[in-house]
Amino acid sequence: MGSTGTEDVRARRVRAQLLDRSGNGGAVGVVRHLLAVQAQDPGAFPLALRARMSGLTIRELTAAREAGAVVRCWGPRGTLHLIAADDLDWLYPLVKPAPAGSLRRLRQLGVDTDTDRAVSVTESALAGQGPLTKPELGGRLTEAGLPAQGQAIVHLAMLSAGWGKVVLGPERDGRATYVHAGDWLGSPVPTDVPDRETAMRKLVVRYRRAHDPAGPPDLAAWSGLPLGEVERAWREAPDSAEEDPRSEPGREPVVRLVPGFDEYLLGWRSREHAVPPPYRALIHPGGGVIRSALLLDGRAAGTWRTRRTAGRIDITVEPFEPLPKAVLPALAAETEDIGVFLGLDTRLTVME
C-alpha cells in the first residue's frame, strides 16, 4: 500500500472510530458505535471514550455503568470489553467466553470441579449480594464449599459468564467487582441467539461502521471468530459502509491522546495504518502490551504517560520526532480535556 493509500485509510478509520468527535449519544452512544470497547485495563477504557466525545466526564460514564446501560463483560477474543446493554442479546452469544480455557486453568490451580457445580455455586455466591470484589467473592465461594483464591476466582466468574450468569460491576477503589447478571441487568445475559446467521451479518455491518475500511480477516482477528464463518457473513451482509472524503487541506490537525489498548491501535489484523514501522516496538513492545499513543491525524507520533498526585494529573508526552508548533495548542487542549474528564488539574510536559 502506497503512502497516499495509507493516508486515505488512516483518515477514514479516524472518522469511523469517532476520533474526529463526530459522534453523539453520550457514553452509551460511543460504546454502541464502537460495538465493543476493549476494557481489560480499568484505567484505560474511560480515556478511550473521552478521546471520542467532547464534554464527556467520568461521572457520566460511571452513571451509565451503574444504570446497566453499558456493561463490562468478557467479549471478543475472551477479553474484557464494554458493550452496550441493548447489544448483549445478539452480540454476546457470538463472543461469550468459551469454557475450555477456564476449566483447564482451574484444574491447574487445583480447583477440580465439574462445570455445572462451578457455575451453580458461583451464581449462588453472587445472588443478592451486589457487586463483590475478588476477595469478597472468594470468601463467599469458600463458604459455599468451593474454596478458591487469586486467579481461580476470576476463572470461576469467567466460566459462569459463559452461561450468562456473571458480568462485572463498576470498580471499587480501582478494583474489579463481579455481579450476578440477573440481579444487575434484570435477567441473565443471553448465551444463545435464535438465528446465528442473521446475528453474524449484523456483526459485519456494525464492525464495518466502526472500522471502515476493513475486510473479513480484520473482523476475524478482532472478534476471535473463525475466518470461514466471518467470510460467509461478509458476503451476505449489506454493504453499509460510507465512503468518507479525504481530509480537507488547511484544516486543523486531529490531535488525540489515546490510552493503551485503544481500539484504534488493535481493531484490525494489521496496525500499519496507525504506527510507522520505525516506532512499532514503542507502541507494541510485545507481551500483549499496547502503550498509550499521541495520534496526529491518526498516525502515532509519540507515547504518553500519567502520574497522579492529590487533585492533579501530570501528563508527559514523548514524541518520536519534534512536534510541529501548530500541534502544541491542540495537544494542550487534549491535556486540559483529560483533566475535565477526570475532574483534576493537569500539567503537560513535552519531552525533547
Lowest mean pLDDT among 17-26, 192-201, 202-211, 330-339: 17-26
Please indicate, yes or no, if residue 240 is contained in any of the structural domains.
no
Long-range contacts of 340-345 (CB under 8 A, 24+ apart): 340/57, 341/46, 341/47, 341/50, 341/56, 341/57, 341/58, 342/58, 342/313, 343/57, 343/58, 343/59, 344/308, 344/311, 344/312, 344/313, 345/311, 345/312, 345/313
Please list the residues that pair with 306 across neighbouring strands: 315
From the list 280, 248, 300, 299, the residue with the least C-alpha distance to 9 is: 299
Of 130, 165, 185, the one marking the end of a domain is 185
Please indicate, yes or no, if residue 214 is contained in any of the structural domains.
no
Mean pLDDT score of the chain:
93
How do residues 66-78 score in pLDDT, each as one tens digit?
999 999 999 999 9
Question: Which amino acid is residue 317, in one-letter code?
Answer: V
Provide the pLDDT for residue 252.
77
Provide the pLDDT for residue 25.
83
Same domain, 263 and 343: yes
Nine-digit cell at 165? Answer: 450468569
Strand order in the sheet with 255-258: 255-258, 293-296, 299-309, 312-319, 345-350
Distances (CA, A) of 117 to 59, 125, 328: 38, 12, 58
Gap between the Cα atoms of 184 and 340, Å rounded: 29
Provide the pLDDT for residue 246.
44
Query: Does 248 have pLDDT greater than 80?
Result: no
3-state secondary structure 116-161: HHHHHHHHHHHCCCCCEEHHHHHHHHHHCCCCCCCHHHHHHHHHHH
Of 145, 162, 185, the one marking the end of a domain is 185
By DSSP bridging, strand 37-38 and strand 80-84 are antiparallel
Instruction: Please tell me whether residue 269 adopts helix, strand or coil conformation.
Output: coil
Provide the pLDDT for residue 251.
66
Beta-strand (E) ranges in 173-280? Answer: 175-180, 255-258
Expressed as residue numbers, the domain containing 107 is 97-185
Gap between the Cα atoms of 166 and 123, Å rounded: 7
Please indicate, yes or no, if residue 263 is contained in any of the structural domains.
yes
Gap between the Cα atoms of 245 and 261, Å rounded: 27
DSSP 240: -
By DSSP bridging, strand 312-319 and strand 345-350 are parallel
Angle at 37 between CA 36 and CA 42, to 5 degrees: 140
Please indicate, yes or no, if residue 20 is contained in any of the structural domains.
no
Please report, rounded to a whole number, the percentage of residues in the chain having pLDDT higher than 70.
Answer: 95
Distances (CA, A) of 261 to 26, 80, 99, 275: 21, 11, 25, 13
Please indicate, yes or no, if residue 167 is contained in any of the structural domains.
yes
Provide the pLDDT for residue 97.
94
Query: Does 156 have pLDDT greater than 50?
Result: yes
Please indicate, yes or no, if residue 207 is contained in any of the structural domains.
no
How do residues 76-98 score in pLDDT, each as one tens digit?
999 999 999 999 999 999 999 99
The CATH code of the domain that includes 136 is 1.10.10.10
How do residues 102-123 score in pLDDT, each as one tens digit?
999 999 998 878 899 999 999 9
User: CA neighbours within 13 Å on the CB side: how many for 66?
Assistant: 8
Count CB atoms within 10 A of the CB of residue 19: 22
DSSP 278: G
Biggest CA pair distance of the chain: 67
How do residues 281-313 score in pLDDT, each as one tens digit?
999 998 889 999 999 999 999 999 999 988 899
Provide the pLDDT for residue 22.
84
Same domain, 181 and 259: no
Please indicate, yes or no, if residue 64 is contained in any of the structural domains.
no
Of 185, 207, 234, the one marking the end of a domain is 185
Phi, psi for residue 206 in degrees, rounded to 5? -70, -40
Gap between the Cα atoms of 208 and 198, Å rounded: 16
Beta-strand (E) ranges in the chain? Answer: 37-38, 70-74, 80-84, 132-133, 166-172, 175-180, 255-258, 293-296, 299-309, 312-319, 345-350
Torsion sign (Cα): 182, 187, 190, 191: positive
How do residues 163-203 score in pLDDT, each as one tens digit?
999 999 999 998 999 999 999 999 999 999 999 999 999 99
Query: Does 253 have pLDDT greater than 80?
Result: yes
Average pLDDT of the segment spanning 232-242: 84
From the list 220, 288, 225, the residue with the least C-alpha distance to 41 is: 288
Structural domain total, the chain: 2
Nine-digit cell at 208? Answer: 464495518
In angstroms and rounded to an integer, the radius of gyration of the C-alpha atoms of the chain is 21
Provide the pLDDT for residue 64.
96
Same domain, 261 and 344: yes
Gap between the Cα atoms of 61 and 47, Å rounded: 10
Please report, rounded to a whole number, the percentage of residues in the chain having pLDDT higher than 90.
Answer: 86
Please indicate, yes or no, if residue 158 is contained in any of the structural domains.
yes
Average pLDDT of the segment spanning 124-135: 95
